Chain A
Amino acid sequence: MKAWIAFWNILVKDFRAYYLKPPNISWGLIFPLAWTGMFFIRSGAGLDSVPALLPGVIAVSVLFGTTSLLSVTVTFEKKGRSFERLLLAPIPLELLMLAKTSGAILFGVANAFVPVVMAAFLMDLSAVNWPTLIPAIVLIAVSSTFLGLFIAVSVSEVFEAQTFSNFFRFPMLFLCGLFFPIEQIPLWLRPLSYVMPLTYGADVLHASIRGAGHMPLALDFCLLAAFCAVLFAVSLRNIRRKWIA
């Protein structure tokens, strides 16, 4: 019970201190809008292109929102040494890091619905398979947040967190089948696509929005969950090795 008081207050504190700050809210709105506009203009196919673009814009909004904010806020707190307060708290490290990442996960999920709401004005969403779309968005947010955590533990400066995030994000963007089908990616690059969590998230998004998935949904979900577990476990191990050394 006492540990959950800490959990809840870490979550609330992060929302008040970071996620509900006007610049982050506007980022959450402008970013998907910019991506949608960019691909919309680029495709030249008018409103018909919206269903094809939506999975990509959802995934990009979640990926950029979560990895940026989590890696930057954790690095910022680590540098200012306020993160030590959390490490000194008598709660298990696993629960502590879940509390620390929950805010970013919720922020990522909220970001995902910005393009969905926008799309509602441009296309018919009645064919969307919500029972698969929503868990997929949540799992993409969890895996992206844990990727942000992995990045935060690997760097020591805030600017490094941003640079290192891009090292993962941009290849992921172009190789995970969001905007270009994986079949169109050169053969020698394809193995990279299959070691990226977003590939499986993108597949579920395409399946739920357009009915155009390539892999069995159960496999996508299992692999996404596995990526989440591995990224979290590796981040915890690195925290123990580097920050409680």
Chain B
Amino acid sequence: MAAEDKAAIEVRGLAKRFGEVQAVAGVDFEVRQGELFGFLGPNGAGKTTTINMLTGLARPNAGTIHIAGIDCSKNPKAAQHLMGVVPDESNLYPELTGFDNLSFCGALYGMAKRDREARARGLLDRFGLAEAAGRKFAGYSRGMKRKLTIAAGIIHAPPILFLDEPTTGIDVAAARQIRQLIADASAGGTTIFLTTHYIEEAERLCRRIAFIVQGRIVRTDTVEDLMRQTDGRHVVQFAVSGGAAGLCEAIRSEFANLACQAVTGGDLRVESSDPVRVGPLVRFLEDRGAEVSEARKIRPSLEDVFVEVTGIEAGAMKQEKEKAKMGGGA
């Protein structure tokens, strides 16, 4: 059996209840060795609860978890040896330096001093933090904290890595760098379980994705198969000045085969199962006093699939998460 055919993570009927709330309701999935698996869902969908159960920070009410064939209910500590965990908050020790934090995290996994210090230096270099190695973690910027937290998650070179919202709340440059680091780790053979609310991030990085909503997985598939759902769908976005209000309704009543939606910035998004003819639409809009400055053909994205499958607006989900993060919530 090829390595990638073996299950690194195998979950069956996983359930967790907090009082009256069913946080996770009978979840099943499998992540194969070396795979980068995305776990997508809105706030409160059960992503972090699932990660907590997989990593041994929470006990399931029902179901089984196997990590590299190890039954986590029987031998959680043996499974923890194989895992690296990057939580949704950068939770290293504020009073320790970057270097000491990494060295300490290596020691928690039994690494000898010489090995963990060499590895810490290597990771600080790779993550662009070498100059900040001697500074206390408390003084790091948000992006630096995130990078160091990821470095701490892989200090012991775990074969399986859990990443919970790794790029939330950090600037674009740091997020890009982190995505590259994740891609490199995956290319190096690490199995990665990634939760994120950035759908484009999941689309770019993951091989397979599960959508979780209200504690249930509503769809698990490869990115290619999910995107196939958008085959034969044609989308054109119009940049309209003078306000999009009322125009969508007018388009829908005039062009029966078109679906129209007002999107952020006053743009109009027109969708059809047939190719969209731009000329008549522009004329139609201009006749109604709107000025069309641009018409762009849009490739349907994974976000469209997510919205279709879950019924949740991805943009709203992202804003909600960012707000929670900035306010200090999880």
Contact = CB atoms under 8 A, between A and B. Distances in A.
A joins B in a complex = yes
Interface of A: 1-3, 5-6, 8-10, 13, 16-17, 80-82, 84-92, 244-245
Contact of A80 (B56, B91, B107): B91
B101 to A, nearest CB: 9
A90 B80 contact: yes
Contact of A3 (B56, B95, B110): B110
B89 A88 contact: no
Contacts of A81: 87, 89, 91
* Most chain B Cβ neighbours within 10 Å, of A5, A17, A91: A5
B298 to A, nearest CB: 40
Nearest to A3: B110
Contacts of B58: 244-245
Contacts of A87: 56-57
Interface string B78-100: 10110101010101111110001
B77 interface: yes
A89 B107 CA distance: 9
A82 B109 contact: no
B111 interface: yes
Given A88-B83, A90-B78, A244-B58, A82 B93 contact: yes
Given A90-B78, A90-B80, A13 B112 contact: no
Contacts of B100: 13
Contact of B59 (A1, A91, A92, A245): A245
Nearest to B79: A90
Given A9-B104, A90-B78, A244-B58, A82 B110 contact: no
25 contacts: A2-B109, A6-B108, A13-B93, A16-B96, A80-B91, A80-B94, A81-B87, A81-B89, A81-B91, A85-B92, A85-B105, A85-B152, A87-B57, A88-B55, A88-B83, A88-B108, A89-B109, A90-B81, A91-B108, A244-B56, A244-B57, A244-B58, A244-B59, A245-B58, A245-B59
Given A80-B91, A81-B87, 11 more contacts: A5-B107, A13-B100, A16-B96, A80-B94, A81-B91, A85-B105, A85-B108, A88-B56, A88-B80, A88-B108, A91-B77
Contacts of B104: 9, 13
A82 B55 contact: no
Contacts of A85: 91-92, 105, 108, 152
Contact of A90 (B92, B109, B112): B109
Contacts of A91: 77, 108
B80 A89 contact: yes
Contacts of B112: 5
B89 A90 contact: no
Contact of B92 (A82, A88, A89, A92): A82
B15 to A, nearest CB: 14
A6 B110 contact: yes
A121 B157 CA distance: 56
Nearest to A81: B91
B77 A90 contact: yes
A1 B55 contact: no
B107 A82 contact: no
Q: Top 9 A-B pairs ranked by shortest CB distance? A: A2-B110, A9-B107, A89-B108, A81-B91, A90-B80, A90-B81, A17-B95, A90-B77, A6-B108
A84 B57 contact: yes
Contacts of B110: 1-3, 5-6, 90
A243 to B, nearest CB: 8
Contact of A84 (B87, B107, B109): B87
A88 B91 contact: no
Interface in B130-184: 152
